[in-house]
């Protein structure tokens, strides 16, 4: 799949933002007043910034409101609803903390639930696609949620919890890679089933339908970077989990915590780039590209 920067930024930053909102809604850290304002500002910049970034890959962003209509069938539509509900509820909850010195526990809880649901619905947009066997796995929502919880705990300053959650995220990520490497072969979809000619003999793409490129090849048959995927996987795990855990374990200071956050975000961006770049869409089979 073509790794569009807008979607990589969107999933990484909205994941971290909604992860932080989840912890703030549960009262971790139990901040009030301007300290709370600072935490909520960071969470909203990440979550809303991520959502805005996702609209950059739309052909017609001016029609984006129509995307709220099909929540019965579409995970993308459900994601829109969850995000708006989470942001509105958390805004009211945050106002209570910042301006009134009140903790409206129920609102915080509802906001947390919808923050988690936002990350889950985002992950389901990818998980639902049978056409991309690497994503079509329960490990995909597990990965998105574990990243959101780990990044959220890190930003919320929950040191010990963040260290545990970062380790869990790393384990889930490695499992998703290992499982994903055999996913296309295990899916049962091949050039034989794509063309229906497998019962005659072995099928080879002889001539493509066009001499130039097209939307399908640009969007679905992305192959650049696969040869470096193993190195990038190691880099992303080290930056995303190993280095932040080491920095947090060393001794707590705001400088080290900031470094841990930067390292985690950089690792998450590399991992998310791989998530798209390594994903094999079955339409590539028609072009003999798999």
Partner 1 sequence: MTTLPQSTNRKLGLVIDLDTCVGCHACVISCKGWNTENYGAPLSDTDAYGSDPSGTFLNRVHSYEVQPTQGEAQLIHFPKSCLHCEDAPCVTVCPTGASYKRVEDGIVLVNESDCIGCGLCAWACPYGAREMDAVEKVMKKCTLCVDRIYNENLPEVDREPACVRTCPAGARHFGDFADPDSHVSKLTAERGGMDLMPEQGTKPVNKYLPPRPKDTLSESAGDIDILAPYLEPVAQEAKGFLGWLDKTLEKL
Residues that bind partner 1 (CB under 8 A): 1, 57-61, 63-64, 66-70, 72-77, 80, 125, 128-132, 187-189, 191, 193-197, 199-210, 212-216, 219-220, 281-283, 286-287
User: Would you say 104 or 287 has its CB closer to partner 1?
Assistant: 287
> Residue 172 CB, nearest distance to partner 1 (Å)?
23
Cβ–Cβ contacts within 10 Å for residue 54, how many? 24
Per-residue CA distances from 4 to 10, 25, 51, 102, 213 (Å): 10, 31, 14, 42, 18
User: Which CB, 70 or 230, lies closer to partner 1?
Assistant: 70
Q: How far is the CB of 6 from partner 1 (least distance, A)?
A: 11
- Nearest distance from residue 289's CB to partner 1, in Å? 11
Residue 221 φ/ψ, nearest 5 degrees: -110, 35
Residue with Cβ nearer partner 1 (194 or 232): 194
Q: Which is nearer to partner 1, 158 or 193 (CB)?
A: 193
> What is the token pair recorded at 135?
């994503």
| Closest approach of partner 1 to the CB of residue 108, in Å | 29
Sign of CA dihedral 6, 17, 168, 263: positive
* Shortest Å distance, C-beta 270 to partner 1: 22
Q: Give the Cβ contact number of residue 48 at 10 Å.
A: 15
Q: Is the peptide bond before 286 cis (omega within 30 degrees of 0)?
A: no
Q: Looking at beta carbons only, is 181 or 219 nearer to partner 1? A: 219
- Taking each helix axis from N to C end, the angle separating 139-155 and 5-25, rounded to the nearest 10 degrees, works out to 60
CB of 142 to partner 1, least distance (A): 21
Closer CB to partner 1, residue 125 or residue 166?
125
Please tell me the distance from the alpha carbon of residue 125 to that of residue 123, in angstroms, as a whole number: 5
Length of the chain: 290
* 139-155 vs 33-55: helix crossing angle, rounded to 10: 140
Closest contact distance (angstroms) between CB of 152 and partner 1 is 26
CB-nearer residue toward partner 1: 30 or 198: 198
The widest CA-to-CA distance across the chain, in whole angstroms, is 75
């Amino acid at each position: 799949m073509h790794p569009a920067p807008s979607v990589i930024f969107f999933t990484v930053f909205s994941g971290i933002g909604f992860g932080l909102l989840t912890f703030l809604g549960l009262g971790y850290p139990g901040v009030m007043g301007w300290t709370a304002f600072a935490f909520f500002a960071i969470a909203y910049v990440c979550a809303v910034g991520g959502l805005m970034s996702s609209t950059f890959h739309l052909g017609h962003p001016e029609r984006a409101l129509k995307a709220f209509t099909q929540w019965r069938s579409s995970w993308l539509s459900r994601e829109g609803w969850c995000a708006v509900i989470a942001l509105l509820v958390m805004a009211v909850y945050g106002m209570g903390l910042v301006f009134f010195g009140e903790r409206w526990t129920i609102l915080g809880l509802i906001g947390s639930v919808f923050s988690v649901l936002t990350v889950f619905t985002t992950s389901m947009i990818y998980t639902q696609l049978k056409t991309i066997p690497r994503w079509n796995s329960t490990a995909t929502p597990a990965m998105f949620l574990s990243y959101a919880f780990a990044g959220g705990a890190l930003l919320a300053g929950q040191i010990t919890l963040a260290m545990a959650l970062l380790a869990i995220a790393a384990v889930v990520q490695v499992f998703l890679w290992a499982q994903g490497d055999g996913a296309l072969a295990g899916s049962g979809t091949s050039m034989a089933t794509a063309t229906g000619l497998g019962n005659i003999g072995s099928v080879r793409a002889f001539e493509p339908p066009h001499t130039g490129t097209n939307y399908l090849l640009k969007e679905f048959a992305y192959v650049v970077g696969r040869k470096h995927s193993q190195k990038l996987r190691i880099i992303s795990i080290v930056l995303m989990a190993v280095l932040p855990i080491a920095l947090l374990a060393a001794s707590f200071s705001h400088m080290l915590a900031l470094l841990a956050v930067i390292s985690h975000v950089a690792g998450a961006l590399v991992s998310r780039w791989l998530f798209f770049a390594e994903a094999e869409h079955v339409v590539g089979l028609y072009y003999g590209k798999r």
